[in-house]
Structure 1
Amino acid sequence: MGGTGTGKSSLIRLLTEDTGVKIGSSLDSLTTDVQLFRFLDHTSGRNIVLVDTPGFDDSRSDITDTAVLKKIAAFLLNEYDEKRQLNGLVYLHRISDPRFGAQASRNLKIFQNICGTKAYKNITVLTTFWDSVSTEEGLMREEQLKSTFFNHIVAQGARFMRHDRSTQSALEIITHILTLTPTDVQIQEEIRIGGKGLEDTAAGSIHREEVERVLAKHKQEIASLGEEINTIKHDNESLRRDLLEEKEELEQRLRLWENEKADLKKGLEDSLKSRGQLEDQYKSVDVVRSATLELLQVQLEDKKKATTVVAQVREEIAVQRTYKGNGNDFFQFAYSDRYPPCMKIIPTDDRKNPLRIFDFASFAETTALLFIRPELLWTKLRNLAPNQIIAEQTMQALEVHNYRLHTEARQRAKLDPGARDMYMSKNIGLRRDWYTDAAFGQQQFTGTNPTTITLAPRRWMDEFMLVARVQERTDVTKLLTERADNMYVQDYSDFRSSIGLYPGERIVCDGRHGCSSVALFHLETEGKLHPLGIVLDYKGSMQESVTIFNRRITSNVNGNEYEDWPWRFAKTCVQVSDWLRHEVAIHLVNTHLVEEVIIVAAYRSFGPNHIITRLLEPHWSTTLSLNKAARETLVPKIIIGMTGLSASQTYAFLKAEYNKFDWKGLYIPNDLKRRGFPIENLDEPKYHNYGYARNIARMWNIIRKFVSTVLAKEYAGGDQEVVSDRSLAVFCEEVRSRDGGQLTSFPDINTLNELIDFVTMCIHIAVPQHTAVNYLQQYYQTFVPNKPSALHIPLPQSLAELCSFTEQDLLSALPLKKPRDWLLMAQVPYLLSFEVPEESTILHYAETTSSSRATLEIIRSAAQVLSMDLRAFIDTVTRNSTELDDQQTPYLVLDPSKTAISILI
């Protein structure tokens, strides 16, 4: 939406690559109706529908603002009736406009009242025509727009973005919108729930006031002209005639405005298109460029036939599974407001007692922390947390305390191998340089979450550049200019919009403070990832947030890193933000809960002897029971008590992250390319420290080779045989549909290559991806100062306040006076990080499968090659680890002899 000439149709033409979309060369609008354009977003694999609307300041004489409002309202009501929500609302504005005029203000006001405050978080204010202004002038106007005209919607979660007429910037808009939770808008609820007429809605009322203002103005002008005409003498006929013509024109305008007022009052009774007409438009929008979409159209047009196929497939599966001892009653989705869809009843054969999943001693200690008051904890467990004397000393005292506990734990284990605790294994706090920029930067590549570091988009480059100029950091601006293509970010700025907070609201619960950080890194030529700048807690704009730059502009600049307490506090904020992203999104949602949706949909779609079941079922062991324990205990009783989020905010964040999951976009080749790490370049010196990327890319290819070998033989008929697989079509619908898995990014599967990618992705999630983000938690998080789950003091509200921070401030931010919180932060990573038994590794699976006569021959023969590939890969993992600059912490987590065969813990 937006005014005429702001670039709506141009943007659509760019995204759809449709030259048939007409673009005006002046401020006269070429859009007179609500138009729908469908295209396939190749990055996410999702089908996108763009809705173009006429502008409210339309210059055409054959369409009024009332007609525009009615057309938009009619479209929105049809969407509401069809239970289709909007992912995003894009409001376009020309940055080249020197002033925000009265018409622009009215347009924005109507738009705001169409949306309502609930939908503000789904708004993207897209500024256009940046090539018509200087960068400095554009940034100044953008800040003015944010702080004045758009301040209310920005304060409640709307995001500003820039469009430079390039396809890349257009796709960035789509990428952002796909992360948002779909919503209804205010005008839909006002009419459908509140029963209001169009003129009585908030948007209608705004327009009615404008119509009445113009009517009153015209009436006054006509009356004044009448009085003036009556005073003219008869000998001045020329003047009389001119005034009469002017009066007649005004009266004609008056009649048009009166008609518009009547039209508004009449409401939508004449302009609401039938549901069938709009559905026809959905089915015929533009030229469908993909065989996938053509198949989808066929399926939608013949729902009855599709329903019959689904029923037949499920009946066949029910018979097969009943024969195996599991009736179809088990394989149902369950739904809640807190979690993504899950298995309603776990089949008997898949149920696992928690004591068979977790180490008994660790499980007992965690249970004690949850249900026993700190002062009643037995001495051994209580002494693992720093005491009051240590808490009042120094960071060095914590390091000494950590070393002592590690030494004592190893001595006990020598006498009694069963006497293990969280400090028996090494942790990062034993390193003398654990706090340094080098260790912090390397964790983005080989730590617990090496999956989200991303090439900095222009938005963040511009934001950091602006702040660097304000802070007069010419060294930073010079580096940002000269090395723009080598800047990377960890971006947690979306936390507030995900949990329903306004940009200015604090993230805090029960004295625990959270933050929404943004960290800027420079990937130096020799491959070191050096932290350059940090926004402690992004509150909608840099002006409202605290940003600090590193005193050490490059990694080879000397400095006293140990006593740079403001910078160390800033890095701790990033770690707190990443703790939430990693534990809830990357680990829990993107592996555990996404895999469960695949499991349930597969059980409902494939028989036990289907080749997809045969390939995937070995990777499902323990997952369902483990996820049930996570929903019943880990999240409500542990996670919620460890962060700055309340219970409702935690569940909102969890659901938002599930809605953002991009199935095809997270295929490893696609994901690494999108984040600025093309696979073909990973062996260059510049990327040698990115151990995760180098290993996971090779592992993806190994898994895909195995899957491809099996499926190419099973589907010897190629693409046609894939399309003919009824179970596969049912499965895709199960994963996506509202009464199924609700994973809307899941693609159609119509080719053999698409099928191979899908199966590869399922194994990837359960095996190397889960291993990579799970099994390093003990090392990096047991030493709480490295990565706490929350801060225990409020964040500084200005750069000056941050710069005054001392060692005591950083110590106060840790839960030193709350031993239970400290122990949970240290104990939970230990609970979740036990080494994988040899018989549960991917290598063991390959070797036993390749020699078992009970295995299908096509899987057995492919497993023989898989086993050899994995054996060779062990050497690759070792070599990649030895090539890291950081040789204190080997990166061997993806060694196939240590990589779990499924989500075991």
Structure 2
Amino acid sequence: MPTVLENVDEISPRDSKVILIMGKTRTGKSTFINDVIGSVEMQTSDSLESVTSEISYVTTQLKHRGTNHNIALVDTVGWAGSDPNLSKDVLLSRIVAKLSSMQTKPTVVGIIYLHRITDNSMGLEQVDNLEIFQSLVGEDAMSSVIFLTNGWTSQRAGERAETALKQNYWNRAIAAGARAERLDVGSPRVDEEEMTDEHKGLYRSNALRIVRLILDSPAATRMTVQQEIEQSGADTTLDQLSAGKTLMKQNDRDYEVLKKAGLDPSKKKEQNDRLRGIKVRELVKFEARMQYAEDWGVYVCGDNAIGRFSGKILNAIGEMGADISGAGEEYPEMVEFAGMTTRMGTDFGEALSLGIPGLSSIGRFVGGTVGCYAGMGRNALRCGAIATGLATPTPPPQVKPTGRKSRQRRA
């Protein structure tokens, strides 16, 4: 099963060669990873809606030129085009939080940017996201990028589309060292019900060929976003990063277009305001808190949908606690009241446990929740967040920082 990615520095095994798989929804990112692994590890879908809700990775081992390599394939979510539920600033925040790295050597050895060759037109949305992608990577690390086309059902039409992509959209990246490769020319993918072991072997061979190309020519330098974070520090705000600046320019352009058309442009301004206010340090802390929240849910309820859903609830309470803390600092007169309601909530929760040891933690959690809702200050934050393991954040007992394990397979 895939493991939710907290940060590239935390990928296990530590010597893993990290490969990012990027592209808009339904370009086949998860399918490509499944082909490399040789089994269905990532969920896929034929619908227009993405089924990848979290940035996660799967590890495998690949013997290449006499050496065994640990490979970590990272499946990104909603980038380069198409998740209607996530704004661009949120998507950028996720990527930056995952890629923030203080290591001096490259933590990402290659980046695969998937594109269906039948998508022969590039709308403004895709052009904008390609521009942000290039700002994240930077010219110095562009040689680690492979623009990978799939869905080759007609070679003649595919070649025309590929030429247009190279000349009109990928030309700047290719000039900086990026490569364009074809995944499945001569072996178009068949429907799942028609797929044989021979098909699966062919698709896996196609995917492994691309991974081997990356191993032959790994990144010699880190991505621009990683270099910028190291140079400027964790207090850097997103608008100071090259990718953030690119997104802000796009938002400014869209703001004017919407305004002239008589439409509401306020969301574009709100995005830029958030980019100016979000620090990398806060992003990393937020991502860690979300993962630890899920771990607590899994610890209490088991490694299943209920446990992970419980974790999301705990994270929401942690977010609310942070807001309450800010209110407490702004209105100190409420802190005393918060302390009183917190104690009342804790007593109420303990009473619910009925003295039964197995229910005591649930009782304390309920008490902490009551304290969070009733209080408006730091004491309420401490009660609610500490009770759920979200304050520092701290992992639950005997649970590693990720509730789900990745499965290793040899290739």
Q: Is 1:287 equivalent to 2:401 in the alignment?
A: no
What is the aligned counterpart of 2:156 among 128, 136, 148?
136
Cα deviation for residue 108 of structure 1 reads: 1.3
RMSD: 2.9
Task: Tell me which structure has the larger Cα radius of gyration.
Answer: 1
Secondary structure, counterpart of 2:79 in structure 1: coil
- 1:664-718: CA deviation from partner (whole Å, max 9, x where unpaired): x9xxxxxxxxxxxxxxxxxxxxxxxxxxxxxxxxxxxxxxxxxxxxxxxxxxxxx
Judging by fraction of residues, say which structure has more strand: 2
Q: Is 1:202 equivalent to 2:202 in the alignment?
A: no
Q: Is 1:151 equivalent to 2:163 in the alignment?
A: no
1:118 maps to what in 2?
Answer: 140
Cα deviation for residue 84 of structure 1 reads: 5.3
What is the aligned counterpart of 2:97 among 54, 66, 74?
74
2:217 maps to what in 1?
Answer: 180
Q: Is 1:193 equivalent to 2:216 in the alignment?
A: no
Matches within 5 A, 1:573-588: none
Matches within 5 A, 1:677-826: none
Cα deviation for residue 17 of structure 1 reads: 3.3
Tell me, in whole angstroms, the C-alpha distance in 1 between the residues paired with 2:62 and 2:77.
24
Tell me, in whole angstroms, the C-alpha distance in 1 between the residues paired with 2:401 and 2:141.
25
Tell me, in whole angstroms, the C-alpha distance in 2 between the residues paired with 1:59 and 1:181.
29
Distance verdict in 2 for CA 1:139–1:281, change over 3 Å: farther
Tell me, in whole angstroms, the C-alpha distance in 1 between the residues paired with 2:249 and 2:223.
22
Cα deviation for residue 95 of structure 1 reads: 0.9
Secondary structure, counterpart of 1:189 in structure 2: helix
Tell me, in whole angstroms, the C-alpha distance in 2 between the residues paired with 1:41 and 1:181.
15
Tell me, in whole angstroms, the C-alpha distance in 2 between the residues paired with 1:62 and 1:156.
33
Cα deviation for residue 123 of structure 1 reads: 0.8
Distance verdict in 2 for CA 1:151–1:282, change over 3 Å: farther
Letter of the structure 1 residue corresponding to residue 93 of structure 2:
K
Secondary structure, counterpart of 1:23 in structure 2: coil
Cα deviation for residue 29 of structure 1 reads: 2.0
Matches within 5 A, 1:168-247: 168-182=205-219, 183-195=221-233, 196-222=236-262
Distance verdict in 2 for CA 1:184–1:284, change over 3 Å: farther
Tell me, in whole angstroms, the C-alpha distance in 1 between the residues paired with 2:273 and 2:34.
36
Tell me, in whole angstroms, the C-alpha distance in 2 between the residues paired with 1:184 and 1:281.
25
Distance verdict in 2 for CA 1:153–1:58, change over 3 Å: closer
Letter of the structure 1 residue corresponding to residue 40 of structure 2:
T
CA contact (8 A) 1:2 1:107 kept: no
Tell me, in whole angstroms, the C-alpha distance in 1 between the residues paired with 2:105 and 2:402.
14
Secondary structure, counterpart of 1:38 in structure 2: strand
Tell me, in whole angstroms, the C-alpha distance in 1 between the residues paired with 2:70 and 2:403.
13
Q: Is 1:100 equivalent to 2:122 in the alignment?
A: yes
Cα deviation for residue 275 of structure 1 reads: 7.0
Secondary structure, counterpart of 2:78 in structure 1: coil
CA contact (8 A) 1:2 1:8 kept: yes
Q: Is 1:50 equivalent to 2:73 in the alignment?
A: yes
CA contact (8 A) 2:24 2:82 kept: no
CA contact (8 A) 2:25 2:83 kept: no
Q: Is 1:2 equivalent to 2:33 in the alignment?
A: no
Tell me, in whole angstroms, the C-alpha distance in 1 between the residues paired with 2:80 and 2:131.
13
CA contact (8 A) 2:251 2:268 kept: yes
Q: Is 1:161 equivalent to 2:181 in the alignment?
A: yes
- 1:180-199: CA deviation from partner (whole Å, max 9, x where unpaired): 23331001112221455311
CA contact (8 A) 1:199 1:264 kept: yes
Tell me, in whole angstroms, the C-alpha distance in 1 between the residues paired with 2:217 and 2:405.
24
- 1:298-320: CA deviation from partner (whole Å, max 9, x where unpaired): xxxxxxxxxxxxxxxxxxxxxxx
Secondary structure, counterpart of 2:210 in structure 1: helix
2:277 maps to what in 1?
Answer: 266
More relative contact order, 1 or 2 (CA 8 Å, 6+ apart): 2
Cα deviation for residue 169 of structure 1 reads: 1.0
Cα deviation for residue 154 of structure 1 reads: 1.5
Distance verdict in 2 for CA 1:281–1:28, change over 3 Å: farther
Tell me, in whole angstroms, the C-alpha distance in 2 between the residues paired with 1:102 and 1:117.
22
Cα deviation for residue 265 of structure 1 reads: 1.8
Tell me, in whole angstroms, the C-alpha distance in 1 between the residues paired with 2:31 and 2:48.
13
Cα deviation for residue 289 of structure 1 reads: 4.2
Distance verdict in 2 for CA 1:266–1:181, change over 3 Å: same
Tell me, in whole angstroms, the C-alpha distance in 1 between the residues paired with 2:48 and 2:103.
35
Tell me, in whole angstroms, the C-alpha distance in 1 between the residues paired with 2:82 and 2:169.
23
Distance verdict in 2 for CA 1:25–1:285, change over 3 Å: same
Cα deviation for residue 20 of structure 1 reads: 4.1
Tell me, in whole angstroms, the C-alpha distance in 2 between the residues paired with 1:144 and 1:205.
28
Tell me, in whole angstroms, the C-alpha distance in 2 between the residues paired with 1:82 and 1:38.
23
Tell me, in whole angstroms, the C-alpha distance in 2 between the residues paired with 1:177 and 1:289.
19
Distance verdict in 2 for CA 1:82–1:18, change over 3 Å: farther
CA contact (8 A) 2:58 2:408 kept: no
Letter of the structure 1 residue corresponding to residue 147 of structure 2:
V
Distance verdict in 2 for CA 1:61–1:138, change over 3 Å: closer
Distance verdict in 2 for CA 1:171–1:286, change over 3 Å: same
Matches within 5 A, 1:600-615: none
Cα deviation for residue 105 of structure 1 reads: 1.3
Secondary structure, counterpart of 2:258 in structure 1: helix
- 1:551-609: CA deviation from partner (whole Å, max 9, x where unpaired): xxxxxxxxxxxxxxxxxxxxxxxxxxxxxxxxxxxxxxxxxxxxxxxxxxxxxxxxxxx
Cα deviation for residue 48 of structure 1 reads: 0.5
Letter of the structure 2 residue corresponding to residue 6 of structure 1:
T
- 1:319-347: CA deviation from partner (whole Å, max 9, x where unpaired): xxxxxxxxxxxxxxxxxxxxxxxxxxxxx
Letter of the structure 2 residue corresponding to residue 77 of structure 1:
S
Matches within 5 A, 1:336-415: none
CA contact (8 A) 1:57 1:65 kept: no
Tell me, in whole angstroms, the C-alpha distance in 2 between the residues paired with 1:202 and 1:18.
37
CA contact (8 A) 2:81 2:126 kept: no
2:87 maps to what in 1?
Answer: 64
Cα deviation for residue 72 of structure 1 reads: 0.8
Cα deviation for residue 83 of structure 1 reads: 5.3
- Please say which of residues 16-25 and 120-129 is displaced more in the overlay: 16-25
Secondary structure, counterpart of 1:271 in structure 2: helix
Secondary structure, counterpart of 2:74 in structure 1: strand
Tell me, in whole angstroms, the C-alpha distance in 2 between the residues paired with 1:288 and 1:221.
53
- 1:428-458: CA deviation from partner (whole Å, max 9, x where unpaired): xxxxxxxxxxxxxxxxxxxxxxxxxxxxxxx
Letter of the structure 1 residue corresponding to residue 206 of structure 2:
S
Q: Which structure 1 segments of 5+ residues have no match?
A: 223-249, 291-664, 666-905
Distance verdict in 2 for CA 1:282–1:123, change over 3 Å: farther
Matches within 5 A, 1:668-683: none
Tell me, in whole angstroms, the C-alpha distance in 2 between the residues paired with 1:264 and 1:32.
22
